[in-house]
Amino acid sequence: MQLAFSTLGVPGLAIPDVVRLAADTGYHGVELRAHPEEPVHPGIGASERARVVTDFKAAGVAVLTVAGYVRSAAAGPDGPALEELRELLRLAHDLGAAHVRVFPGGGDLDAAEADANAARRLTAAAPYAADLGVQLLLETHDSHRTGADVARVLRRAGRAGVGAIWDVMHPWLGGEDPSATHAALAPYLGYVQVKDIASADDTTPLPLGAGVLPLAECVELLSRAGWDGWLCWEYEKRWYPQAAELPGLLPAARDHLLRLLAEAA
């Protein structure tokens, strides 16, 4: 398996510094948070995109994902959501990223309506994604926090260009056993976001292995299934300013994940 981290852990850090940090600490890729407050987002031009590609290529680090904020299951017309998806897909294509991250965001909608919204929009965007060679990935999050929730949408979408991100925290908070999450998402799995927290009541990010999330069990399930994809550390420093700084934690997190992989093997 290959290791990455999300720029959510280093908010606002310039791209050359992000790339250097990944290369210096032994990570193979980076999940880029695509938001206007970050260096990379759909509003940047062709020359800026080219510089990002050059920086990553020179260091031998992959752009794993463009992590967008489209809420695919939310109420409202499809048009704005689809246009935002197209913009994110174009950005991912230009950067050489394999994926675009999508949230559910169904809020208080009835589950059937939220499912229908997400499935319809993902299905509509999938041909464009396929033409660009980019995969749309629906994350286990908010209104669809479990593997069963996300799989329910993806079965309806029924497109090869659409898959899932297994964020290990949200299914666990939703009371779903890792084996059930893995079983639900295995046919669709793009990659896995790893993290750690103190408890269900305190989701402040912790160094990997210092909290309660079942990381070892998740890695073992993936290894036993012969899965050879990406593990991406999403350290949510952006939302928890009191959390420790990410750069100093990256080497120990890499070593922790490598130990889990060795033990699972």
Give the right CATH number for 2-264 from 3.40.50.1400, 3.20.20.150, 3.90.950.10, 1.10.10.10.
3.20.20.150
Can you give the residue ranges of every domain in the chain? 2-264
State the Cα–Cα distance between residues 245 and 139, nearest whole angstrom: 25
38, 118, 166, 208, 211 from 197: Cα distances, Å: 25, 29, 16, 8, 5
pLDDT of residue 108: 86
State mean pLDDT over 19-24. Answer: 98
The band of 259, judged by pLDDT with boundaries at 50, 70 and 90, is very high
Q: Supply the pLDDT for residue 136.
A: 98
Inter-CA distances, 205 with 2, 105, 159, 190, 222, Å: 21, 22, 34, 23, 23
Position 25 pLDDT exceeds 80: yes
Residue 111: pLDDT band (50, 70, 90) is very high
Q: Quick check: 22 pLDDT over 90?
A: yes
- What is residue 11's predicted lDDT score, i.e. its pLDDT? 96
pLDDT above 90: residue 161:
no
Contact at 8 Å (CB) between 147 and 176? Answer: yes
Q: What angle do CA 173, 145, 263 make, to 5 degrees?
A: 60
Question: Is the model's pLDDT at 160 over the cut of 80?
Answer: no
For residue range 61-86, list pLDDT tens digits in order. Answer: 999 999 999 999 999 999 999 999 99
pLDDT, tens digit, 9 for 90 and up, residues 181-228:
999 999 999 999 999 999 999 999 999 999 999 999 999 999 999 999
- Interaxial angle between packed helices 250-264 and 15-25, expressed in degrees from 0 to 180 and rounded to the nearest 10: 50
**CA–CA dist 198, 214 (Å, integer):** 12
Given pLDDT bands bounded at 50, 70 and 90, which one contains residue 158? confident
